[in-house]
A and B are shown apart, each in its own frame.
Chain A
Amino acid sequence: MLRLIFTRLALFVPTLLAASIILFIAINVVPGSAARSALGVDATPQAIMRFEALNGLDRPLIVQYSDWFIKAMQGDFGKSFQNRVAVGPEILKRLPVTLELALLAFLIANVIALPLGAIAAFRHRKILDVIITTFATILGAVPNFWLATLFVLLFALIWPILPAGGFTPFLSDPKANLIQMILPALSLGLVSSSLLLRIMRTTMLEVLNSAYIKTAHAKGASERVVLIRHALRNALIPFFTVGAVEFGFLFGGVVVIEDIFRLPGIGSLVLVGIINRDYPVLLGSALVITIVVLAANMIVDTIAMILDPRQIHAGER
Chain B
Amino acid sequence: MNFLSKFNWIRHGLLTIGIMIVGTVIVAALTAPIISPYSPYDLDVTMMLQAPSADHWLGTDELGRDVLSRTIFASQISIQVALVAVSVGVIGGTIIGVLAAYFGGVTDLILMRLMELLFSFPAILLAIVLMASLGTSILNAMIAIGIIFIPGFARLARATTVEAMQQQYIEAARSVGMSHSRILIIEIMPNVITPLLVEAAVAFAYAVLLESALSFLGLGAQPPEPSWGNMLNTGRGFMAQAPWLSIMPGMALFFCVLGFNLLGDGLRDMLDPHLRD
Contact = CB atoms under 8 A, between A and B. Distances in A.
Nearest to A201: B277
Q: Which of B123, B125, B126, B243 has the most CB of A within 10 A?
A: B125
Contact of B218 (A138, A275, A277): A275
Determine chain A's interface SS by DSSP, over half rule.
Answer: helix
Given A27-B133, A137-B261, A143-B254, A270 B232 contact: no
B261 A141 contact: yes
Contact of B133 (A22, A26, A153, A293): A26
Nearest to A251: B122
A252 B132 contact: no
A19 B121 contact: yes
A275 B132 CA distance: 9
For the complex of A and B, 4 pairs with smallest distance between CB atoms: A252-B122, A141-B258, A146-B250, A252-B124
A274 interface: yes
B219 interface: yes
Interface string B234-277: 01100110010011001001110110011001000000000001
Nearest to B251: A146
B131 interface: yes
B4 interface: no
Contact of B132 (A140, A251, A279): A279
Contact of B125 (A157, A202, A286): A286
A245 B115 CA distance: 12
B132 A205 contact: no
A248 B128 CA distance: 15
Contact of A149 (B136, B217, B250, B265): B250
Contacts of B121: 19, 22, 248, 290, 293
A30 B134 contact: yes
Given A22-B117, A256-B217, A282-B129, A149 B123 contact: no
Contacts of A255: 122, 124-125, 128, 217
Contacts, number: 145
A293 to B, nearest CB: 6
Contact of A37 (B114, B120, B135, B265): B135
Contacts of A277: 132
Nearest to A290: B121
Interface in A75-113: none
Contacts of A259: 217
Interface string B203-236: 0010001001100111100000000000010011
Contacts of A22: 114, 117-118, 121, 126
Contacts of A253: 124
Given A22-B117, A26-B129, 17 more contacts: A18-B113, A18-B114, A141-B255, A143-B212, A143-B253, A146-B246, A149-B239, A157-B243, A245-B119, A245-B120, A247-B120, A249-B122, A253-B124, A255-B128, A260-B236, A271-B217, A289-B122
B219 A152 contact: no
A249 to B, nearest CB: 7
A29 interface: yes
B99 interface: no
B83 interface: no
Contact of A256 (B124, B135, B250): B124
B148 to A, nearest CB: 10
